[in-house]
Structure 1
Amino acid sequence: MKKFPENFFWGAAASGPQTEGITNKINKSIWDIWFEKEPERFYNQISPYVVCDTYNKFKEDIKLMKEINFNSFRTSIQWSRLIKDFYTGEVDPDAVRFYNEYIDELIKNGIEPIINLYHFDMPANLQEELGGWENKKTIELFVIFAKKAFELFGDRVKYWTTFNEPIVPVEGGYLYNFHYPCKKDMRLAVQVAYNIILAHAKAVQEYRRQKLDGKIGVILNLTPTYTRDERPEDKKAAHIADLFFNRSFLDPMVKGEFPQDLIEILKEHNMLPETTEEEKSIILNSKVDYLGVNYYVPRRVKAVEKTPKEFTEPEYYFEYHIKENGRFNPYRDGNEIHPVALYDIAKNIQENYNNIPWYIGEIGIAMSLDSEKTLPDGRIDDSFRTNLLIEHLDELHKAIQEGANCFGVHQWTFIDNWSWLNSFKRRYGFYRLDLETGERKIKEHAKWFKEVAKNNGY
């Protein structure tokens, strides 16, 4: 048996906007208004309005978590649900009640809550009135939200994170048009990234100011960058891709410094963000206590054959490369399967980031509804998911044996949930969600995971 460290976290990750529904939610997020404006952009035009209905079914769900031996679970508090007036910080009493009961029920069942503050869900009127993360005023309002959350729930929640995948609102909203506000503007993208880093840092400082008995971190989607071969121009392309997509957030949040090479690239194109010395000091003095790492697929690049005329996106410096004879997931748009990437992530953190404590915040293995075969006896066979997770855990276990400071694994996700533009195109859950009835039905992978969590190994 491959055993994991004592008190290892086994569980799942989710988010408020993807699970709770909009019952009694007094403010809208960007997802609510975007769906109203362009429902055709969402797979099968399924809205986030009801979905898992966690707001009403959290006790039922926590019972299901306990049945498969979860000892931890990560979700998020919705800014647009908790805060009634974003400018004064007045909270909504029903939201306070709901989150208190949700957190208390987790703890009562021996499940450690990890609470995240921002999971792509900018309040709609802050986006429309202020420009969201384009405006530094939004940073101050985010700190008010964080302050309230820490005051209300920090006596019981011992693990906090500020942002989940903070680069995604930058990519989706300002580079590649898959998140609202659907802009394509490299200069704005750089400023938004900086403003999010500053918002994170100020929230970290607010948490420490309150002297709470817990830890605060951030969850980053780290994607190892591989080249097609050893040629120098490909290695340079991979280095730059890594600067933009990994180190841009990882270095300031964990090491307290911005990558100098990235600064020089932005300076060359006259795209440095607007900053102050005070802001930079705050960022560089707000290192996290721990790190969450989301991993799904690797990134493969090669040198550009013809440099574009304008620097409008990071791909100015590299092109994507598909590995010949690679393994690909037929259920997730053909993305590459590369389990050794998890070992490479672990060793990078161990060797280059002071071996900071970290856990897998998400590892998701997508399957389509049809590919999760319903057997004659009614069982849901998703052994493809189990077999792949074993391969990834093998690599993680190897790294831990070599000293990597990983303290848990959270799979995406507990129940099949609504996933942005993809809606329910891909299924990730331990439990299947029936969209018509709301019924949760266990999959075979969950039964396997139950034994892993029980034995702290496999």
Structure 2
Amino acid sequence: MKKRIPADFVIGAASSAWQTEGWMGKKEGQDSYLDSWYKQERFVWHEGYGPAVATNFYEKFQDDVDFMKEIGLTHYRTSINWARFFTDYENCVVDEDYAQHIDDLIDALLDAGVEPMLCLEHYEMPTFLQEKYDGWSSKEVVELFVRYAEIAFDRYGDRVKQWFTFNEPVVIQTRVYLDAIRWPHEQNTKKWMQWNHHKVLATAKVVRLFHEKEMDGRIGIILNPEVTYPRSSSEADQKAAHLYDLFFNRVYLDPLVKGAYPEELLELLEKQGVLFDHTEEELAVIKDNPVDFLGINLYYPKRVQAPRYEWNKDTPFHPEMYYDPFELPGRRMNKSRGWEIYPQMMYDMAMRIKEEYGNIPWLITENGMGIEGEERFQDDQGMVQDDYRIDYIRDHLSALLDAVEDGSSCEGYMLWAFTDCVSPMNAFKNRYGLVRIELDEERTRKLKKSGLWYKEIIENRVLEVEEITDK
């Protein structure tokens, strides 16, 4: 069966600055949170690989752009590395060498017919601001972020028309302050929520700035809502799913799209003593400045059930007191990553945005298949025969096209990632790219079979899918 891909439907790919650039040209004092974590706990990064070299995109970006042109990629999303953009974060003194790199990248993309989409922060909080202000705990950092955004808009806004404030803003503080599984391993649930609020507030302020400056284009945010499914129809399981969604999905979706936090969430936070510090003025700014559009990252569903045991009251509050994870028997799995594969979540997320969030314009900004030991699938010419990735993309894109057919405002699909790249802790263990990166000194690139397939669907605007039949 053939499904038509609308002519204006984005078929793109994504990555980030820190996961590709490497440290070439980085000056003393320009560490990001990821850089500092890598220096402190290199042992937790697979085989010691991390952001130090990454894919050496800083020097080799033209090679990747040439592959984009060959494939016919329509859009490419990456980030500006906030930690490298300045030499003085408080006075916002731009590092002209790094800023010129971003200029050169944008121009190269446009010359290749690829539209650049830029994110202002993809986990690249400057270590200086973390150490001096405790990062997003501080309202000063909110204001510094707004100043950073204005400089970026002024410098690149003539060519970049699609902007995002954050990529997956919930992630860093969840891993560090809620779960305490990443450096510096500080368990502090109140701080977790304070960081969430300040990122919401910073987004609203940047949206306001973008519109006040009458920028040509639009401004949004990239979220990673986990499509949440209860184990069963029981009231207890349904409640568990509702509360998981409240704490991890609606904490951003509601204020950024609807203009206000869910009252139920605020009541629970206050009850547990972890309500974030805020003012009525801040809530008003959030209310008056919703995002123009959304990027949505989806990889796997979240399945939960009612808690099976009483919560240990001697431990700090964690939302998991309201739910337990649930593993669906017989689920389809990416065994390399430990993630369930469930393409139906694309359709379900699309319908939720349509029905609950005013069908705000949005697109998939990340979805992909990371496989370990991918070199075992190389043919005699060294090309990775990654049919598993082709199948994965086809299934998820098919579900997304069904949603578009049913009235979803989804504007496109962006694969994670264009090339193999570094991931937190996993480093290069799981490969995600259409382009393989060899871990030699040159970081040699080579197109995979999926890259040729991606080129084909971009050119033909047709997705061939198998019809489901009983066997």
Q: TM-score, normalization: structure 2?
A: 0.95
Question: Contact 2:68 / 2:112 at 8 angstroms: preserved in 1?
Answer: no
Query: Which residue among 371, 374, 377 is the counterpart of 1:367?
Result: 371
Which residue is 1:318 aligned to? 323
| 2:429 is aligned with 1:425 | yes
Query: Which residue among 401, 407, 426 is the counterpart of 1:403?
Result: 407
Query: Which residue among 45, 64, 68 is the counterpart of 1:65?
Result: 68
Which residue is 2:146 aligned to? 143
Q: CA RMSD in A?
A: 1.3
Matches within 5 A, 1:351-390: 351-370=355-374, 373-390=377-394
| 2:137 is aligned with 1:134 | yes
Question: Contact 2:251 / 2:261 at 8 angstroms: preserved in 1?
Answer: yes
Which residue is 2:260 aligned to? 257
Which residue is 1:182 aligned to? 185
| 2:349 is aligned with 1:345 | yes
Deviations 1:13-71 (A, max 9, x none): 10001111112223111222222222112111113111211111111210111111101
Question: Contact 2:260 / 2:283 at 8 angstroms: preserved in 1?
Answer: no
- Which amino acid is 1:325 matched to? G
- Which amino acid is 2:317 matched to? T
| 2:167 is aligned with 1:173 | no
Which residue is 1:93 aligned to? 96
**Matched residue pairs, number?**
457
Query: Matches of 2:376 and 2:77 in 1, distance apart?
Result: 25
Matches within 5 A, 1:227-238: 227-238=230-241
Query: Matches of 1:10 and 1:177 in 2, distance apart?
Result: 37
Helix, strand or coil: the match of 2:76? Answer: strand
Query: Matches of 1:377 and 1:127 in 2, distance apart?
Result: 47
| 2:434 is aligned with 1:448 | no
Question: Contact 2:374 / 2:384 at 8 angstroms: preserved in 1?
Answer: no
Which residue is 1:239 aligned to? 242
- Which amino acid is 1:116 matched to? C
Deviations 1:253-279 (A, max 9, x none): 111111111111112112211101111
Which residue is 2:397 aligned to? 393
Query: Structure 1 58/370 Cα, relative in aligned 2: closer, same or farther at 3 Å?
Result: closer
Moved more, 31-40 or 123-132: 31-40
Matches within 5 A, 1:100-139: 100-139=103-142
Moved more, 135-144 or 352-361: 135-144
Question: Contact 1:118 / 1:164 at 8 angstroms: preserved in 2?
Answer: yes
What is the CA-CA distance between 1:6 and the residue it aligns to?
2.5
- Which amino acid is 1:457 matched to? V
| 2:291 is aligned with 1:288 | yes
Question: Contact 1:51 / 1:435 at 8 angstroms: preserved in 2?
Answer: no
- Which amino acid is 1:10 matched to? I
What is the CA-CA distance between 1:220 and the residue it aligns to?
0.5
Deviations 1:287-338 (A, max 9, x none): 11111010001001000122312552110100000001211111212x1111
Gaps of 5+ in 1: none
- Which amino acid is 2:344 matched to? V
- Which amino acid is 1:195 matched to? H
Query: Matches of 1:372 and 1:450 in 2, distance apart?
Result: 24
Which residue is 2:10 aligned to? 9
